[in-house]
Structure 1
Amino acid sequence: MNFEIPDGLGDMLRDFTVAVLRERPRDLNDFAVDYFTKSRDSRKAKKIPMYIIVDDDTDAGEPDCDNFKPRTQKQNKFGRRHSVSAERYNPEDDSDDDGEQRIIHPKTDEQRERLLEAVCGILLFKSLEHEQMQEVIDAMFETRVDPGEHVIEQGDDGDNFYVIDKGIFDVTVKTEQGLTRIHRFEDKGSFGELALMYNMPRSATVTALTHGTLWAMDRTSFRRIILKSAFKKRQRYEKLLQNVHLLESLDNYERMNLADALVSRYYDDGQTIIVEGDVADGMYFVEQGNTRVTITKAGKEVEVSRLSPGEYFGEMALVENKPRSATVYSIGKVKVAFLERDSFERLLGPCLDIMKRKISKYEKSS
């Protein structure tokens, strides 16, 4: 029997976990039924890279990569810690000033560059701010593996999350019919997050086929950085979206999904954010700072408006499926929340009529 992890499973479970941590429902079963029913009715399945396939890792507490000592093939590289699956983490209860020190593993400049290159394309880290990405890099430690070594083993408790620097790794599961390979990583990818996020035993075994190098992060750092950042990002964007008149027709669930889809972008003074005539890739909500909007009239660029926090732009080209009708520049340092085209079409259906009416009024007055 062959087992394949469906596309979108990791993304779906992550979103559900964040929703549970935020809402803290009394009846988890009823909440799950309601959540996934709304999810089915309101959005398309997301696609995620194959590297979010395997569940979590199993490594021990806080290994010292400088003093790492190879073990025999029968041993896992890190001692296995037991009974960790009972731990729970609620980002809402985790204050920023709790006095707990960040774990920092020293690295050379060359190591930091390699690690940044390895993690920059991973979906889990996509929404992290610059400071949070630096925390990720600080918290990860380098470890080397030999051919035949089990990095994580099915059924074990999960202690670490792994990012592949180089090497080939097979992902296998034990079934009644025997051992089945479900995926192969080659010099890129990550694994081990599911056991850490959902307090599950490892659901698969990951074995090195070649000499390889991995970057690992302990479960405490992983949960504090990844889960807490997702929670704080949603809180911040929900607050921003509550003040956008356009989105009044969205219910709380729809607004929550929209907040999860937003990505921060930063611009220095005078930078061009969108250009008149370009193909539209998404819309923008002004989070911090101000912008100025210009259009071309009689061959000259004319300023037509300025936008402040809580206002938005870029939706006209998406609604009408036309090129950008204006150019937008930053005034001073600007932070915007960007919503890509696919997410716009999936999440803002209830607002399209309002947008069309607004565009119609704008065209009549211009």
Structure 2
Amino acid sequence: MDLRIPQGLGELLRDFTVAVLREKPDPLVDFAADYFAKLRTTSKPKSVPMYIIVDDDQAGEPDPTTLKPKNNANGPAKGKYARRTSVSAERYDPEADDGDEEKVVHDKSEGQKSRLSQAIAPILLFKSLDSEQLTDVVDAMFERRVQSGEVVIRLGDDGDNFYVIDTGIYSVRVEVDGQEKTVHTFDNKGSFGELALMYNMPRSATIMAETEGTLWAMDRASFRRIVLKAAFKKRKMYEELLENVPMLKTLESYERMNVADALQTKTFADNDVIIQQGAEADGMYFLENGSVRITINKGGGEEQQVGKLAKGKYFGELALIENKPRSANVIADGKVKVAFLQRESFERLLGPCLDLMKRNSDVYKSYANKGK
């Protein structure tokens, strides 16, 4: 008898459990029937308990099943918002974390801080962190120099650190039919080691330095405190924001969770231009804090204010819906914090809301008419 657990069963049951805990349904059987019926008919069902971007063109250990780097198993997603993967928190509960533990700080020169900041900038794992949290990342990481032939991570070992490459070439090796096989090579950029820390699992590959090099390492406790807890807090905050957006009322709760997970925080100073009339649309915005002015260029350098939006409102969807350039300027009125939804994520996640958005687009068209 084959007693192996089918692939994907763990994630499926985990997602369902989270939905039950959130909704507290009664009767449970009816809820389960509806849940799995929707899951079956939804073209892109993906509900996960907490989200972290872990797929990157130069990130991570390989998928142990396909023996390919997990981000390239189906080819790199150039120009697309990276796929997100659920985080297992078997021994770490971010909600119960009171945050009282002392921050880890490793002294660095200004030059080292600058190099490290540049190294972590393109890593999708840190995209959801704000400036203060990124400072915590830089402070918590320490330098590790390696020699050619040195094993940085060994297959099967417990996870201790997460690594960001500063310099050097590193091979990713797994065992295939008793033989060690190189399945990927990092060349002076990238990151690895997050899987064991996120999933509380042994290392899934061996990482060996092929040349002398330098790595930046972050210990397990700091990684969880900064990255996992930050993702949890971000997700809860955005869920609360989205629950108060009327146009998203048509979404199921798990669909709103996916939207919340795709949002990125951006901040703007007073009079910063968030959207420029005539520019190509790259996404839409939800106002977390502050307010914005909506203006129309009338020609001859004259600009007319036609509206104002405050916390909880959204803007920028019209150009995405109609696939046209921006029809107005949106300017920060004081310090502004927004949640940004990239075009690709908009198209993928907000299909159920498009009809309502199209009706609301008349508001923007009325702004444009005022400027004529």
Whether these two folds match at TM > 0.5 is yes
Q: 1:95 to 1:196 in 2, by over 3 A?
A: same
Name which of structure 1's ranges 293-302 and 237-246 shifts more when overlaid on structure 2: 293-302
Q: 1:25 to 1:160 in 2, by over 3 A?
A: farther
* Matches of 2:330 and 2:298, distance apart in 1: 15
Query: What corresponds to 1:111 in structure 2?
Result: 112
Q: 1:184 to 1:195 in 2, by over 3 A?
A: same
Helix, strand or coil at the partner of 1:41:
coil
1:23 to partner: Cα distance: 6.2
* One of 93, 113, 116 as aligned partner of 1:90: 93
- Alignment of 1:251 onto 2:258: no
Query: What corresponds to 1:199 in structure 2?
Result: 200
1:51 to partner: Cα distance: 2.5
- Alignment of 1:162 onto 2:163: yes
Query: What corresponds to 1:291 in structure 2?
Result: 292
Correspondence 1:25-36 to 2 at 5 A: none
Letter in 1 for 2:270: D
Correspondence 1:184-263 to 2 at 5 A: 184-263=185-264
Deviations 1:298-340 (A, max 9, x none): 6532111100000011100000000000001111101111111
Query: What corresponds to 1:51 in structure 2?
Result: 58
Name which of structure 1's ranges 356-365 and 269-278 shifts more when overlaid on structure 2: 356-365
Helix, strand or coil at the partner of 2:333:
strand
Query: What corresponds to 1:309 in structure 2?
Result: 311
Deviations 1:2-45 (A, max 9, x none): xxxxxxxxxx9xx999969976969xxx9xx969957972269x
Helix, strand or coil at the partner of 2:91:
coil
Q: 1:263 to 1:36 in 2, by over 3 A?
A: farther
Q: Contact 2:61 / 2:204 at 8 angstroms: preserved in 1?
A: yes
* Matches of 1:123 and 1:38, distance apart in 2: 30
Q: 1:301 to 1:120 in 2, by over 3 A?
A: same
Q: 1:113 to 1:338 in 2, by over 3 A?
A: same
Helix, strand or coil at the partner of 2:43:
helix
* Pairs aligned (count): 318
1:152 to partner: Cα distance: 0.4
Deviations 1:269-289 (A, max 9, x none): 111111111111111111111
1:243 to partner: Cα distance: 1.0
Letter in 2 for 1:254: E
Q: 1:87 to 1:293 in 2, by over 3 A?
A: closer
Letter in 1 for 2:91: R
* Matches of 1:86 and 1:282, distance apart in 2: 31
Q: 1:361 to 1:294 in 2, by over 3 A?
A: closer
Query: What corresponds to 1:323 in structure 2?
Result: 325
Q: Contact 2:172 / 2:208 at 8 angstroms: preserved in 1?
A: yes
Structure scoring higher RCO (CA < 8 A, sep ≥ 6) equals: 1
1:252 to partner: Cα distance: 0.9
Structure 2 gap segments, 5+ residues each: 1-7, 23-31, 47-52, 64-87
* One of 337, 340, 361 as aligned partner of 1:338: 340
Identity %: 54
Q: Contact 1:18 / 1:230 at 8 angstroms: preserved in 2?
A: no
Q: Contact 1:18 / 1:231 at 8 angstroms: preserved in 2?
A: no
Letter in 1 for 2:196: A
Q: 1:179 to 1:278 in 2, by over 3 A?
A: same
Query: What corresponds to 1:64 in structure 2?
Result: none
* Matches of 2:202 and 2:37, distance apart in 1: 24
* Matches of 1:110 and 1:116, distance apart in 2: 10
Query: What corresponds to 2:361 in structure 1?
Result: 359
Q: Contact 1:164 / 1:188 at 8 angstroms: preserved in 2?
A: yes
Letter in 2 for 1:307: L
Query: What corresponds to 1:72 in structure 2?
Result: none
Query: What corresponds to 1:121 in structure 2?
Result: 122
* Matches of 1:188 and 1:363, distance apart in 2: 46
Letter in 1 for 2:96: D
Helix, strand or coil at the partner of 1:91:
coil
Name which of structure 1's ranges 323-332 and 297-306 shifts more when overlaid on structure 2: 297-306
Q: 1:179 to 1:204 in 2, by over 3 A?
A: same
Q: 1:20 to 1:186 in 2, by over 3 A?
A: farther
Helix, strand or coil at the partner of 2:128:
coil
Letter in 2 for 1:138: D
Helix, strand or coil at the partner of 2:288:
strand
Q: Contact 2:60 / 2:194 at 8 angstroms: preserved in 1?
A: no
What value does the CA root-mean-square deviation take over the aligned residues? Answer: 3.2
Q: Contact 1:281 / 1:340 at 8 angstroms: preserved in 2?
A: yes
* Matches of 1:362 and 1:276, distance apart in 2: 12
TM-score of the pair, normalised by structure 2 = 0.78
Letter in 2 for 1:349: G
Structure 1 gap segments, 5+ residues each: 1-11, 57-84
Helix, strand or coil at the partner of 1:93:
coil
Deviations 1:95-130 (A, max 9, x none): 23xx31111111111110111011111010011011
* One of 41, 63, 67 as aligned partner of 2:43: 41
* Matches of 1:262 and 1:43, distance apart in 2: 18
1:248 to partner: Cα distance: 0.8
1:362 to partner: Cα distance: 5.3
Q: Contact 2:297 / 2:304 at 8 angstroms: preserved in 1?
A: yes
Q: Contact 1:269 / 1:334 at 8 angstroms: preserved in 2?
A: yes
* Matches of 2:346 and 2:196, distance apart in 1: 31
Q: 1:86 to 1:137 in 2, by over 3 A?
A: closer
